[in-house]
């Protein structure tokens, strides 16, 4: 299945899990896997052929998330930020794509998903969006934002540490919610991007 899923539904499903399992920022994602009755294992997966690394896979028939030992260092680095994001991605497939089946999706070989990082495919982007919503829920992030307008990477790093995600993932999440933007100097700033010319919509 690669049907369109409204972003609000993805956010709501993540919020449901937070309520159901009483999650908190930086929560133990392996404990969440237990709660969802999913197992976790490491395997050496050769992903050298093809574009994009395979960090994780889901084997729905065995309720199993597989992490690629080949990228162990990257997955374990910086407070396991990449590991948590990858597991969140596979949980996204489990919740949104397994119930209807993967059908003829090229991202499923009949037994396991073939997730490659950087894929622009809808099914992969949905899993990415779910992972972001799960690790950094909208309401929890809103409550953690600085009270006044801010600029620079320091606030982004602080939020990233609180939610145990990478600074890049946090910046993307903030931008996606319209709570930060990066002007041409590349330095993050609070608030949505100023849209030059937007005022013209209301002119004449
Ligand atoms: Zn995937």
User: Cα(194) to centroid of ligand 1, in Å?
Assistant: 33
Give 3-state DSSP helix, strand, coil % of the chain, rounded to 5: 50, 10, 40
Q: What is the pLDDT of residues 31-88, one digit of tens each?
A: 999 999 999 999 999 999 888 999 999 999 999 999 999 999 999 998 899 999 999 9
User: Cα(99) to centroid of ligand 1, in Å?
Assistant: 15
pTM comes to 0.91
Task: Examine the pLDDT at 194 and tell me if it is beyond 80.
Answer: no
User: Cα(30) to centroid of ligand 1, in Å?
Assistant: 18
As a whole number of angstroms, the distance between CA 53 and CA 118 comes to 8
User: Cα(180) to centroid of ligand 1, in Å?
Assistant: 27
What lies within 8 Å, CB to CB, of 46 at 6+ separation is 70
User: Cα(132) to centroid of ligand 1, in Å?
Assistant: 13
Counted residue by residue, the chain has a size of 204
**Percentage of the chain exceeding pLDDT 90:** 78
User: Cα(113) to centroid of ligand 1, in Å?
Assistant: 6
Closest C-alpha to 29, from 86, 108, 106, 107 = 86
Left if phi > 0, otherwise alpha if psi is -120 to 50, otherwise beta: which for 180? beta
């Amino acid at each position: 299945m690669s049907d369109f899923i409204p972003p609000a539904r993805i956010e709501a499903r993540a919020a449901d899990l937070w309520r159901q399992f009483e999650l908190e920022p930086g929560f133990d994602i392996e404990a969440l896997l237990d709660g969802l009755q999913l197992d976790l294992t490491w395997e050496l997966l050769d992903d050298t052929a093809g574009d994009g690394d395979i960090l994780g896979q889901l084997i729905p028939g065995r309720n199993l998330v597989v992490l690629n030992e080949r990228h162990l260092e990257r997955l374990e680095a910086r407070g396991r930020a990449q590991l948590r994001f990858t597991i969140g991605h596979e949980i996204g497939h489990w919740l949104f794509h397994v119930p209807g089946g993967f059908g003829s999706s090229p991202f499923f070989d009949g037994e396991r998903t073939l997730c490659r990082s950087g894929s622009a495919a809808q099914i992969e982007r949905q899993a990415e969006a779910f992972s972001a919503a799960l690790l950094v829920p909208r309401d929890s992030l809103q409550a953690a934002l600085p009270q006044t307008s801010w600029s620079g990477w320091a606030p982004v790093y602080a939020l990233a540490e609180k939610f145990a995600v990478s600074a890049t993932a946090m910046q993307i999440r903030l931008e996606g919610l319209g709570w930060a933007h990066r002007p041409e100097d590349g330095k993050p700033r609070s608030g949505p991007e100023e849209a030059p010319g937007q005022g013209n919509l209301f002119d004449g």
